[in-house]
Structure 1
Amino acid sequence: MAVATDTILKKMQRELTEAQHMSADDSIVKKHIANIQLLCELLNEEQPLPESKQEMTDRELKAMMGDAAAEQQPGPGRNPIDHDDANGKSLFDF
């Protein structure tokens, strides 16, 4: 038996109102908040969030990952260090 979303929201509002009126007693407020959390979980189970499939733009990828091309190319005034026993540019390249 499914409960209507409107019914759950009204119960959440009632719990919130009661929590606000009993704000002097922390244990009662916490019980009302726990009830609200339970109602939220119930609502989320009945109506799962829509899965959004978004493509990442090149600009977003560059912002997240950095400009890999700029890191690979030495800039003006930068000379790459070349040692016989070094395997790469990173400290962690062994």
Structure 2
Amino acid sequence: MAIPNETILKKMMEELKQAKSQQADQRKMVKHIEHVRLLCDLIIDVEQAEPDKGPANISDISTDEMKAMLGSSSKPINEKRASDEDHEDANGKSIFDF
């Protein structure tokens, strides 16, 4: 359930009035200012959670971004590399491949 910004702003004004009236007691004044800060964070978090545009579509991804995510190899994955040679007793390049 979203709280309208107007409601949050009214509550902020109330907290500011209380903070102003409590200037003699530093601890109480700071407590009301902390409440204002919390209400500000609430508005900021809601704004960041609801960006102007919806979720990104696959068409929004550039070819450079796609290459970066998938790797820039232009060879098909199943294509055999020239450096890979078939040896009867060898399983790979490393001496630890058995």
CA–CA separation in structure 2 for the residues paired with 1:46 and 1:14 = 21
Q: Which amino acid is 2:47 matched to?
A: Q
Normalising by the residue count of structure 2, what TM-score does the alignment of the two structures yield? 0.48
Q: Percent identity between the aligned chains?
A: 42
The residue number in structure 1 matching 2:30 is 30
2:25 paired with 1:5: no
Q: Which runs of 5+ in 1 are unaligned?
A: 52-94
CA–CA separation in structure 2 for the residues paired with 1:47 and 1:9 = 14
User: Greater RCO between the two (CA within 8 Å, min separation 6)?
Assistant: 1
Q: Which runs of 5+ in 2 are unaligned?
A: 53-98
Q: Once superposed, which parts of structure 1, at least 4 consecutive aligned residues long, lie more than 6 Å away?
A: none
Deviation string, structure 1 residues 7-50 (Cα, Å, up to 9, x no partner): 000000000000001100000001000000000000001113x7
> Quick check: which has more Rg, 1 or 2?
2
Aligned residues: 51
